[in-house]
Amino acid sequence: MELVLNFLGITLSAVGLLSPTIDYVYIKERAKRISFYLTSISLIIASATLIFSIFTYPNQAILVYNGALRVDFYGIFLALIATIGALLVVFASSSIKKWSTAPSFYSLLLLGLLGVYYLIFVNDFVLLIAAWALVAVTSYVIAGIRKDARSVEGAVKYAIMGALASVLLLFAVANIYSLTGTTNIGEVISSLSSTDLALTGHKNVLLLSVLLFISALGFKIGIVPFHGWLPDVYGGVHPIPVSFLAGVVKIAGVAVIIRILFPLASLIGSIWLLIFALLSIFTMTFGNIVALVQSNVQRMMAYSSIAHVGYILTGVTAISSLSLTGKIFGIEFALPGIAIHLLAYSLAKVGIFVGLAFLLRSKIGTTLDDLKGIGRSMPTLSISILILLFSLMGVPPLLGFWGKFYLFTSVVSIAPWLAFIALINSGLSVGYYAQVIRYMFFMEGEKGSTEKAMNPEVSVLMIAAILTIVLGILVPFFTIYLLPPYPLG
């Protein structure tokens, strides 16, 4: 596994650092083509390497780099999701290739993906801070890479909120280090588990650290009330950069929650259930209600992303089943549910934002009125979006159904009221997804542009839709591999 990680790290960083040099040496158009091909090839190689690792991986966790990284099947699966999402974004980057900053985009995408890998496998707080900084900085620049007014505004808001999140993360790490005297996450968990926190008076410090971690990660993935930057970035920046931020970077934030916060559940006690259940309810309800009143589809998808974070938090809530009931029931459903939902979410968001990018490139627009009648003039694009919207709704047997099924089932035994509220919210989301479908297929519109055969964006959208169907059928056969003890040890 060290060889695999060395190979992935060298490949992504070498190509990522080479792109600016190519941009400096060659004329613009040639530099863009070379950067595109090198980025595509490196991501294909990375995907093949991760797929090979999945099929050859032993049924145990492996510590590498002197314990700085903890590699397991679950982490490799999340890394593969992120890599496939990044690859689809690159394949769809027809709009990006026309920008003067295209080589920089490909460079930042690869370096950001490398940071995502390290966050997924992180097992040391020092590495966590370094990888967090790498992903954060590349994300800020990617958000504003088009350099138009809306992109710059979104990038600035993202950077300001992200800087605050980074400070909270540093405070959380400092508190944990003060309790244990080590930065290795495995040793931290072992030390805290062997200490009577109530007698030593350290339980409140641990709770404060967990709240600081939640706040920092809440900024990163869009948990209410830490979501303020997300609508302006996801809803205002060009859809191609947003597809990377929504479909790839968010995976890293969820992975850090699994790596750091999950093992602390039994030490926090019953308050874990209350904290994450309330965050889940506020996040999914706010996202769905505000999405209902949006007339711009891109902004609607931004608030939809917030709602889906709320669904994922139901799985995070379920981890408390181990400390409250002594049973692992919630974890057995929650961890596969989080992974499968991330896969469905990534495919859907990358696909839909890429489709919106094609509409912008076709001079159509992304409001509901702009979508009128495109079901007839652009059938492949419209049907693919329809499939991805059905997946986000949770229609069986699509991939999104299985993610919600496992997530909601995971909390039934400990918080049936939370499962009920999640189901209500899932039904509420149908209202705005159905609006998009109604405008595309059941309203008349005059569209002068039609989709072209083998158009990159439409092709990627179609691939995302096909994967959503095929993987939805195959989910029952590979869910068992996503069960504990992989993230928890």
pLDDT at 39: 87
> Residue 56 pairs with which residues in a beta bridge?
none
pLDDT at 447: 53
d(CA 128, CA 141) in angstroms, rounded, equals 20
**Does 488 fall in a domain?**
no
Whether a cis peptide bond, with omega within 30° of 0, leads into 225 is: yes
Q: To the nearest 10°, report the CA torsion of 425, 427, 433, 438.
A: -150
pLDDT at 105: 87
pTM above 0.75, yes or no: yes
**Does 120 fall in a domain?**
yes
Q: Which residues of 460-481 are buried (b: 16+ CB within 10 A; e: fewer)?
A: bbbbbbebbeebbeebeeebee
pLDDT at 324: 58
**Does 363 fall in a domain?**
yes
Q: Which domain holds residue 192?
A: 2-482
**Does 489 fall in a domain?**
no
DSSP H or E segment with residue 70: strand 69-71
pLDDT at 147: 83
pLDDT at 373: 83
Q: What is the DSSP string of 94-135?
A: TTGGGSTTHHHHHHHHHHHHHHHHHHHHB-BHHHHHHHHHHH
**Does 487 fall in a domain?**
no
φ and ψ of 285, to 5 deg: -70, -45
Number of domains in the chain: 1
> Residue 231 pairs with which residues in a beta bridge?
none
pLDDT at 35: 83
What are the residue ranges in the chain where pLDDT is below 70?
A: 23-28, 58-59, 196-201, 266, 320-330, 445-454, 480-489
**Does 420 fall in a domain?**
yes
